[in-house]
């Protein structure tokens, strides 16, 4: 199985921070975004660490990504979907798939026997494309624990 | 209790061009129906009532994070007034007077040391709220189809119409059919 990143949410760490602040702030979105910009990446990292520690993983669902998965059989995909129903697989040909998922599912997959091989591929792609270095560092310790 | 209209902002959406390139790589013709669950929109919705967000979150294929009443104090100016109350002088008077009593009681409970998470039990359904929603195109299409129906309530009909307009402007190739009712 191979995976290549097609698209992912812009500014993923800031997007997660926006979702987290939304729960605790009465301010309009522009004020929350300005506050996050002003406080900088260390604060976004602090919020990420907190949500993972508190197991408030719902905020990670706003970081979404789409990949092209190749050399994967229908049997392999079926097994993954049964274990992780929030994965979106659409077949392009007999062994190629468009896969969409969010960062919560990615974290959950990385901790699961069925999901960790795919999680390792996806995290490797995020690292290769330098999409979310802070998230990867916090959630996977700079490298995937899936291996 | 001035009625400020609901504000909706599209925070990001999937770049459909990137998906088209994946189809090109595999030499497969692009199919909008096939990418409906791969195109995602993140919206911020502000100043709609909790009545409407209760209806919204019934649509379960989406991710929601909402302003919490456990941690944020209720703001007195923040209640959505239904147009049929707004336009009826007697009803508007009852509505405003009751709100004044409710908010006074809320403040008294908080002053008496009751936690905001408990004092909020007295707050009205119409209180304004803010929520972020991340949703794929198929799920959003279902919301538009269901919540623009005549049977749907006026506030979520307005919201569904706005969500539809923003999604259609961002990704017109996915929204070619008339689905509003």
* Tens digit of each residue's pLDDT, chain B (181 residues): 445 589 999 999 999 999 999 999 999 999 999 999 999 999 999 999 999 999 999 999 999 999 998 877 777 668 999 999 999 999 999 999 999 999 999 999 999 999 999 999 999 999 999 999 999 999 999 999 999 999 999 999 999 999 999 999 999 999 998 777 7
Residue B94 domain-assigned?
yes
CATH number, domain at B72? 3.30.1360.170
Write the pLDDT tens digit of every residue in A76-132.
Answer: 999 999 999 999 999 999 999 999 999 999 999 999 999 999 999 999 999 999 999
* Sign of CA pseudo-dihedral A13, A19, A22, A24: negative
Shortest Cα distance, chain B CAs vs residue A66, angstroms: 7
CA distance A28 to chain B (A): 7
Could you tell me how many CB contacts below 8 A there are between chain A and chain B? 97
Structure tokens at A57: 């993983």
Residue B180 lies in a domain: no
Residues B164 and B181 sit within 8 Å (Cβ to Cβ): no
* Residue B2 belongs to a domain: no
Total of domains in chain B: 1
The answer to the question of residue B38 being in a domain is yes
Distance, in Å, from the CA atom of B20 to the CA atom of B31, rounded to the nearest integer, reads 9
Q: Could you say which of A10, A58, A68 has the minimum Cβ distance to residue B65? A: A58
ipTM: 0.94
- 3-class DSSP state of A26: coil
Q: CA-nearest residue of chain A to B8?
A: A29
CB contact under 8 A, B71 and A28: no
Residue B181 inside a domain? The answer is: no
Domains of chain A listed by start with CATH number: 2-140 (3.30.1360.170)
Does A61 contact B134 at a Cβ distance shorter than 8 Å?
yes
- A9–B42: do the CB atoms touch at under 8 Å? yes
Q: Where are the alpha helices (DSSP H) in A27-66?
A: 29-39, 41-53
User: Measuring CA to CA, which residue among B101, B82, B105, B102 is closest to residue B92?
Assistant: B82
Which domain covers residue B145, as residue numbers? Answer: 7-174
Residue B64 domain-assigned?
Answer: yes
Distance from CA of B70 to the nearest CA of A (A): 9
Domain presence at residue B93: yes
Residue B179 lies in a domain: no
Check CB contact under 8 Å for B26 and A88: no
């Amino acid at each position: 199985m191979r995976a290549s990143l097609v698209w992912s949410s812009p500014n993923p760490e800031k997007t997660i921070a926006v979702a987290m602040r939304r729960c605790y702030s009465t301010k309009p979105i522009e004020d929350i975004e300005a506050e996050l910009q002003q406080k900088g990446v260390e604060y976004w990292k602090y919020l990420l660490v907190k949500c993972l520690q508190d197991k408030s993983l719902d905020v990670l669902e706003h970081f979404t990504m789409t990949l092209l998965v190749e050399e994967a059989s229908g049997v392999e995909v079926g097994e993954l979907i049964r274990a992780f129903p929030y994965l979106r697989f659409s077949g392009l040909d007999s062994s190629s798939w468009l896969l969409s998922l969010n960062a919560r599912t990615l974290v959950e997959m990385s901790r699961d026997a069925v999901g960790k091989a795919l999680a390792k591929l996806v995290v490797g792609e995020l690292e290769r494309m330098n999409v979310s270095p802070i998230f990867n560092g916090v959630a996977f310790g700079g490298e995937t624990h899936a291996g | 209790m001035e009625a400020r209209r609901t504000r909706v902002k599209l925070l990001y959406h999937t770049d459909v061009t990137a998906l088209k390139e994946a189809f090109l790589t595999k030499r497969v013709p692009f199919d909008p129906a096939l990418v409906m669950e791969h195109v995602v929109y993140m919206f911020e919705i502000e100043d709609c009532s909790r009545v409407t967000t209760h209806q919204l979150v019934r649509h379960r294929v989406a991710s929601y994070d909402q302003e919490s009443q456990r941690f944020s104090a209720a703001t007195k100016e923040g209640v959505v007034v239904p147009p049929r109350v707004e336009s009826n002088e007697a009803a508007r008077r009852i509505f405003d007077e009751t709100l004044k009593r409710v908010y006074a009681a809320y403040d008294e409970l908080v002053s008496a040391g009751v936690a905001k998470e408990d004092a909020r039990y007295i707050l009205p359904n119409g209180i304004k709220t803010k929520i972020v929603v991340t949703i794929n195109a198929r799920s959003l299409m279902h919301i538009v189809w269901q919540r623009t129906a005549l049977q749907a309530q006026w506030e979520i009909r307005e919201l569904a119409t706005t969500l539809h307009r923003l999604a259609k402007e961002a990704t017109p190739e996915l929204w070619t059919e008339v689905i509003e009712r």
